[in-house]
Structure 1
């Protein structure tokens, strides 16, 4: 096997991209929890695991489409990726604007509220995109995998948030901002994809 073939196989390896996503997310989360980086830096660095995760999605979807006998299969996934890319880009833009405005001075409360809500709405848009994927996906097996991933991610995020909350009450761990629940939920999607692969032999569509 040539070096070019080896490189090509690595680029199309879902486990490789999944491992890189897991490692980068863990690294950023570790730095944030130890106080090595502030909130703004944390959110900026989260772009790295997010980009790796979307690359994993693209590789997994390409593999699914390539192996499909029906030419229409994969349309819902492609639409989903476009929507997520749009909302992710909006998130990065409005978050950058928020940081710039807050650093520039002390804006009015209404402006601060608007700039604080917009990044959250962009994340809500990603949740909406996942909901649309469930509705639009015509393959019942893939739809089941998507729902299963979402349920695993939800259980993981709610469980983690509940346990962390009680640990906070006991003074064992520091306080974390509420938006971390969404971050943990997206990480739970990775757990869901891995579970799908182990249980059903397919990564699904996420």
Structure 2
């Protein structure tokens, strides 16, 4: 099956879960369990990228995809466990520090995977696309974070935890890749 199908199913599932959470049809724990299940769709996505053949997906992109999927799954799991432990236990000191590391270690791995891909990818155009997508994600984090920070400073919105930076970056990176793919299909110039 094509990688786009798996990503489409993942986004559709995540969208349904977000809608259910926003309408309070499900609680946070149920939402997390459902989202963890939807994240399982990233596994066949990674496999489909790796199976696309020697001319379609090189070793670097296959390793990148598998690394990103694995780190994303570990991030979701670590975040869910850390939030659950924080809600149910009175964490402090070294225990709180170790629990806070649970979602951070996969983030560090994710950053390493992106950097490694940029070093290992032999195709200059694919390297360029990855850098542009990463910069799009970074730009979105900076724009949303700054805007929200000013709104929060003026008391117009509630505080949002800093860990939202990673999902926003990933969304921005995905949108950057989508924009590049659409531009390539339509024959658009830079």
Interval containing the TM-score (normalised by the shorter chain): 0.7 to 0.9
Distance in 2 between the 1:56 and 1:153 partners?
Answer: 21
Of 84, 103, 126, which aligns to 2:68?
84
Distance in 1 between the 2:169 and 2:143 partners?
Answer: 10
Deviations along 1:109-166, one digit per CA (max 9) or x if unpaired, are: 2111111123112112112111111111111111111111111111122222222223
The change in CA–CA distance for 1:152 and 1:88 in structure 2 (over 3 A counts) is closer
- Structure 2 residue runs of 5 or longer lacking an equivalent are none
The change in CA–CA distance for 1:178 and 1:107 in structure 2 (over 3 A counts) is closer
What are the within-5 Å matches in structure 2 for residues 79-158 of structure 1?
A: 79-91=63-75, 94-95=78-79, 98=82, 101-102=85-86, 105-158=89-142
Structure 1 window deviating more from structure 2 (32-41 vs 76-85): it is 32-41
Distance in 2 between the 1:175 and 1:26 partners?
Answer: 23
TM-align CA RMSD: 3.4
Question: Which position in structure 1 is the counterpart of 2:15?
Answer: 26
- Structure 1 residue runs of 5 or longer lacking an equivalent are 1-10
Distance in 2 between the 1:169 and 1:26 partners?
Answer: 30
Count matched residues: 186
The change in CA–CA distance for 1:171 and 1:107 in structure 2 (over 3 A counts) is closer
Structure 1 window deviating more from structure 2 (34-43 vs 182-191): it is 34-43
Deviations along 1:13-51, one digit per CA (max 9) or x if unpaired, are: 61x334333333334445556666666665555435544
The answer to which structure, 1 or 2, has the higher relative contact order (CA under 8 A, 6+ apart) is 1
Distance in 1 between the 2:23 and 2:43 partners?
Answer: 27
Distance in 2 between the 1:97 and 1:18 partners?
Answer: 24
Deviations along 1:76-135, one digit per CA (max 9) or x if unpaired, are: 122223333443454355446545654664344211111112311211211211111111
Query: Is the contact between residue 82 and residue 100 of structure 2 (CA under 8 Å) also seen in structure 1?
Result: yes
Distance in 1 between the 2:105 and 2:166 partners?
Answer: 12
Question: Which position in structure 2 is the counterpart of 1:5?
Answer: none
